[in-house]
Homo-oligomer: A and B are copies of this chain.
Amino acid sequence: MRIGVLGTGVVGQTLGRALVAAGQQVMLGSRSRENETAAEWALGVGAGASHGTFADAAAFGEAIFNCTSGMKSIEALEAAGEANLEGKILVDVANPLDFSRGMPPALSICNTDSLGETIQRRFPNTRVVKALNTMNARVMTDPARIPGQHNVFLSGNDADAKARVAGWLSQWLGWPPADILDLGDITSARGAEMLLPVWLRLMLALGTPEFNVHVSRAPATAAAAGPEAGSPGRPT
């Protein structure tokens, strides 16, 4: 399959390389066709890898991965062009982290909105699926490096698009299907993006970005007492 990966940072490069390794054709998109990082990436990855502008990559891809900085994602997607994104699945890997006021960054959008929703509203004919934004690029593309079970989350309004993205995560990146958790519609991207503040604190506390979260459930019988009582959603 032909895939446009927008963004030439570590996430775009790592994800693009992994998709080529899985047999897909990947064009890495950036602001300029002369981007040296993208050219070196394509040369280094070899057959199956190419580079171009955001618009080139979006036109090339049957599916698109947004790996741009979250603060600049809308700008990058507008450069990619609405027509080039029309009807396609867009996997949104970005986080709207604002580093302009130093560490730790705050989210530029959160709580009552999310970057995923913002992209879906701006491009209503694109099938946005939030995924992979809650972990390091090496974990995204090689989940087996973290021991035991751990999860990747999906958010999106289009059930078929989420099912296809789940298939790609499984077949191309090695995610066990049982570890792919559907959080709900695109508004649930708020939850996935709001994991970033604790992710950043955990990275500092653990001294490594190579971790991920696993949602561990009680056996069905233990949960039979009911789904609401005493939850943090209802503290009193």
A residues neighboring B (CB under 8 Å): 7-12, 14, 67-70, 93-95, 97, 104-107, 110-112, 133-139, 145-150, 153, 181-184, 187-188, 190-192, 194-219, 222-223, 225, 227-236
CA gap between A145 and B202 in the complex, in Å: 24
CA gap between A8 and B219 in the complex, in Å: 28
**Leading 9 A-B pairs by shortest Cβ distance:** A9-B236, A137-B230, A191-B198, A10-B230, A210-B218, A208-B223, A209-B231, A191-B197, A210-B223
From A183, which residue of chain B is reached at the shortest CB distance? Answer: B201
Whole-angstrom distance from the CB of A145 to the nearest CB of chain B? 5
Q: Are A137 and B184 also in contact (CB < 8 A) when A110-B111, A195-B195 are? A: no
Q: Of the candidates B136, B146, B213, B227, which one forms a contact with A213 in the assembled complex, judged by CB atoms under 8 Å apart?
A: B213
| Residues of B with C-beta under 8 A to A215 | 202, 206, 211-214
From A198, which residue of chain B is reached at the shortest CB distance? Answer: B191
| Residues of B with C-beta under 8 A to A225 | 138
